[in-house]
Amino acid sequence: MKHQDIWILAEQRHGHIMPISYELITRGLALAAGRDCRLNAMIFGHSLDTAAPEALIRCGVDRVVAVEAPELEHFTVEPYAAAMLQLIDEYRPEIILAGATSTGRTLMPYVAMSAHAGLTADCTVLEIEPGSGLLLQTRPAIGGNIMATIKCPECRPQMATVRPRSTRPAPDTPGRTGEIVRRRLTGGQLSSRIVRTGFIPDREELGLQDADKIVVVGRGIKKAENIRLARELAGALGAALGASREVIDRGWLSYPHQIGLSGKTVTPKLYIGVGVSGAIQHLAGMQTAETIVAINTDPEAQIFKVADFGIVGNLFDIVPQLTAMIKEGKQPW
């Protein structure tokens, strides 16, 4: 049987589809059009109700294969890998895409190794090469200093992970139909040498990746106490608070706030960077924002190269004034 079709790994938590899955559909649909083939989704879980696969189908998936077992309720690498390898064996996908999430980044290499498949991490651009029909995978490398395009001429499936929030989620088309296949795998196939014994959710404000607007502080803020200024601006805007790595490394904010290559990728409507220089590794996580604003004392700062609007000025003067103006602007006169 020859390898065919594009597949995505749809992630779920507690039966709810994770946003990355809809972003993967956007990617998958573009590739399926280029290959003139079907878009399939695999989803692993326990007692999934029909809402989950149906939602995937309404957003553009032609066939959903839902594999269910108690062992698949939460991600652990061995049962998930066994399930994915089983589907690779049965359906022989040409391409599999997963999110570059804690799950995707662990599962995909484990599976790729076993399947002797090529895998490219953290792709930002995926396209079909005209003629050969191969998947061209473009990703940042060497700390974001270069972009590399990678392909996988012989081994199948061609596997790639995609950074969350690097594309828009596929819209829902009410009434769209497709095929749902439910599979059960038995315990023996899914044994795990890792047991998940608990989970403690983060307590922080956050919601960075879902935020429409983000205020980001860099080292220019000088000390932890000053972050209050950025927090007030964020409050006035209804924005979430993010930070550069310099701020995280100094312990002024916790790691989940970090934006960039080794932090989160965000695609908000509005990004405001205060005292952020715009190192390439930082840009890797925010360049896709719709509107970028920067406030920095240094007119040569890299951040101005990617910004739509910049103020060369002292953040300690500018930020409180901006906060005040936004608050006033909201008042009804």
Site residues (CB under 6 A) for ligand FAD? 143, 218-220, 244-247, 258-263, 275-277, 279, 281-282, 285, 295-298, 301, 314-316
User: Degrees (nearest 5) of the Cα angle 166, 244, 248?
Assistant: 120
Q: Look at residue 102 and give the partner it binds from ligand FAD, other proteins, none, a contact being a CB closer than 5 to 8 Å depending on partner kind.
A: other proteins
Determine if 81 is a binding residue for other proteins (CB under 8 A). Answer: yes
| Paired residues of 224 in beta bridges | none
CB 284 within 8 A of CB 144: yes
* Contact partner, 218, from other proteins, ligand FAD, none, Cβ < 5-8 Å per class: ligand FAD
What's the CA gap between 295 and 316, in Å, rounded? 10
Shortest CB 218 distance to ligand FAD, Å: 3
Q: What is the nearest approach in angstroms of ligand FAD to the Cβ of residue 10?
A: 27
Examine residue 55 and tell whether it contacts other proteins (CB under 8 A): no
Residue 183: C-alpha distances to residues 42, 139, 204 (Å): 10, 34, 38
Name the residue whose CB lies closest to ligand FAD. 260
d(CA 285, CA 282) in angstroms, rounded, equals: 6
Of the two residues 301 and 322, which places its CB atom closer to ligand FAD in the complex?
Answer: 301
Residue 164: closest CA among 291, 18, 283, 60: 18
Token pair, residue 86, equals: 């089983």
Question: Is 41 or 259 the residue whose CB approaches ligand FAD more closely?
Answer: 259
Site for other proteins contains 260 (CB under 8 A)? no
* Residue from 106, 169, 219, 235 binding other proteins (CB under 8 A): 106
Please report whether residue 280 would count as binding other proteins according to CB under 8 A. Answer: yes
Structure tokens, 12: 């779920």
117: CB partners within 8 A, 6+ apart:
111, 152, 155, 156, 157, 158, 159
| 185 contacts: CB under 8 Å, gap ≥ 6 | 67, 69, 72, 82, 83, 86
Considering the complex, state which of residue 178 and residue 275 has its C-beta at the smaller distance from ligand FAD.
275
Q: What is the x/- site pattern for other proteins, positions 309-328, by CB under 8 A?
A: xxxxxx--xx--xx--xx--
- Could you say whether residue 33 binds other proteins (CB under 8 A)? no
